């Protein structure tokens, strides 16, 4: 359950992670610097924007810390690493869902809650839109926000005949096991709680959290799951099979995907950002993580309203309870 956050007596610090290079981001950053400076809250700012390191390109847009100091804030510039969020009260994310997932990589290991301000397109992970920045800052500065837990999955790649994983990672949205070459199908067997469920050739398979159900899993034909639900979603991607329906399993389940030993190599793509090799014959095991991601809430908007708004769903004719 979320609860109102007490304002600490020592020096408060917000970590800011921004999708830079846009005029509206610069304007929002200056507003944050001015308001936090007036409230005596220090800012720690990630020095550049690295998007999708799993992709063959990296874009960087340095942030000018002097611009923020001129607005009245005490500013520390930091690199994006495991120490970025240590000691911060919260992580404030300016951008879309991609920027939010990048910030989660900093917040989750440190156990620091994060909140998104949408400056992207859909921005499903964001708590508020950019035009509400003053209202958001009023709530954050006053400590008038709640922190709730969002389910996270642990991912392990295990070689045949081995007990210890060859690689580990975690995901907030989903892990996608797919063909490395994108040429032909990936032959896989899906297993739940130690028992085989289905075998087929496919482009890949997704194992997602309720938070991730409205992301890639949704595009692949999976159901929408309310984010406070605890469950694991399994969605085949373009499977060549008569039975290849999405499955919703218990949050206590162990979901495994075995790649056929005589087939093609695969990769496990974690939240679209981090890539793990999955050689032919190996398996990917996915379980609920012991720790959850801490998520800042300032609104009590029903999730159904968020669905309607973000996906522009038609609700004409609704009368409600009379």
The region of weakest confidence among 19-33, 185-199, 214-228, 231-245 is 19-33
Give the bridge partners for 76, in sequence order: 44
Is the pLDDT reported for residue 52 higher than 70? no
Is 138 designated active site? no
- Give the N- to C-terminal CA distance of the chain in Å, as an integer: 31
Nearest Cα to Cα of residue 208 among 147, 268, 128, 294: 268
Is the pLDDT reported for residue 58 higher than 70? no
Q: For 74-216, list the strands marked E by DSSP.
A: 75-78, 90-95, 114-118, 128-129, 146-150, 153-158, 167-171, 174-179, 186-192, 195-202, 204-208
C-alpha 253: how far from chain center:
21
Task: Determine the pLDDT at residue 20.
Answer: 76
Cβ atoms of residues 307 and 298 within 8 Å = no
Task: Determine the pLDDT at residue 51.
Answer: 47
Model confidence pLDDT, tens digit, residues 234-270: 999 999 888 889 999 999 999 999 999 988 999 999 9
Domains of the chain: 13-150+292-311 (3.40.50.10330), 153-288 (2.60.200.30)
d(CA 116, CA 173) in angstroms, rounded, equals 15
Model confidence pLDDT, tens digit, residues 103-117: 999 999 999 999 999
Cβ atoms of residues 145 and 92 within 8 Å = no
Among the listed residues 23, 70, 97, 271, the single catalytic one is 97
Backbone Cα Rg of the chain: 21
């Amino acid at each position: 359950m979320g609860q109102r956050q007490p304002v600490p007596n020592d020096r408060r610090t917000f970590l800011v992670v921004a999708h830079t290079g846009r005029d509206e981001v610069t304007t929002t950053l200056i507003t944050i610097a001015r308001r936090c400076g007036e409230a005596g809250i220090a800012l720690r700012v990630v020095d550049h924007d690295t998007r999708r390191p799993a992709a063959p390109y990296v874009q960087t847009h340095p942030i000018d810390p002097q611009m923020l100091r001129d607005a009245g804030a005490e500013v520390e510039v930091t690199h994006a690493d495991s120490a970025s969020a240590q000691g911060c009260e919260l992580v404030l994310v300016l951008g879309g869902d991609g920027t939010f997932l990048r910030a989660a990589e900093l917040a989750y290991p440190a156990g620091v809650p994060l909140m998104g301000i949408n400056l992207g397109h859909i921005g499903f992970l964001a708590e508020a839109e950019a035009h509400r920045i003053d209202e958001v800052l009023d709530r954050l500065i006053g400590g008038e926000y709640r922190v709730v837990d969002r389910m996270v999955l642990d991912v392990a790649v295990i070689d045949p005949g081995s007990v210890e994983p060859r690689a580990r990672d975690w995901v907030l949205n989903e892990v996608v096991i797919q063909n490395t070459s994108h040429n032909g199908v990936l032959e896989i067997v899906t297993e739940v709680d130690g028992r085989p469920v289905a075998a087929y050739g496919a482009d890949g398979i997704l194992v997602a959290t309720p938070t991730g159900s409205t992301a890639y899993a949704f595009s692949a034909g999976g159901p929408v799951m309310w984010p406070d639900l605890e469950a694991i979603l399994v969605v085949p991607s373009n499977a060549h099979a008569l039975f290849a329906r999405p499955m919703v399993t218990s949050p206590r389940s162990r979901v495994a995907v075995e790649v056929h030993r005589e087939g093609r190599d695969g990769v496990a793509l974690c939240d679209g950002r981090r890539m793990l090799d999955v050689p032919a014959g190996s398996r990917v095991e996915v379980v609920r993580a012991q720790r959850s991601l801490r998520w800042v809430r300032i609104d009590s908007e029903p999730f159904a309203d968020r669905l309607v708004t973000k996906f522009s769903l038609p609700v004409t004719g609704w009368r409600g309870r009379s």
